[in-house]
C-alpha cells in the first residue's frame, strides 16, 4: 500500500460521482513536488488549503489518515471557512 495520495484512489472512485475529489500529497512525502521549508502541521494545512483554492474549491470535506488526520484538524483550526 503506498503511503501517498494513491492509497485513496479506490475510495475516491466511490464518491467521485456526486462530489469532486482532490487527492493531495503532503509536504515531506515522496510524491510532493513543491519546495517548502521544514514540513509542519501548520504548513501542511496551509498548503492543502492553497491547493484547494487553486482548484476553485471554496468548501471541502477533508479526510486524512494518520498524519493526514492531524493536518485535517489543523485545517479546521486555521481555515474554518473552508471546512
pLDDT of 16-44, one tens digit each?
887 899 998 887 777 777 776 677 899 99
Cα(61)–Cα(45) distance, rounded to whole angstroms?
13
**In the block, which residue shows the cell 484547494?**
52
Residue 77's closest CA among 33, 45, 32?
45
Q: Is 65 left (phi over 0), alpha (psi -120 to 50) or beta?
A: beta
Residue 2 confidence class, pLDDT cut points 50, 70, 90: low
Residues 38-57 have pLDDT tens digits of 778 999 999 999 999 999 99
Task: Identify whether the C-beta of residue 4 lies closer than 8 Å to the C-beta of residue 25.
Answer: yes
Amino acid at each position: 500500500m503506498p503511503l501517498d495520495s494513491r492509497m485513496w484512489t479506490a475510495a475516491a472512485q466511490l464518491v467521485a460521482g456526486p462530489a469532486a475529489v482532490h487527492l493531495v500529497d503532503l509536504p515531506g512525502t515522496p510524491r510532493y513536488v513543491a519546495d517548502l521549508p521544514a514540513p509542519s502541521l501548520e504548513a501542511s494545512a496551509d498548503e492543502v488549503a492553497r491547493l484547494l483554492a487553486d482548484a476553485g474549491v471554496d468548501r471541502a470535506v477533508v479526510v486524512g489518515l494518520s498524519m493526514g488526520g492531524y493536518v485535517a484538524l489543523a485545517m479546521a483550526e486555521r481555515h474554518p471557512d473552508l471546512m
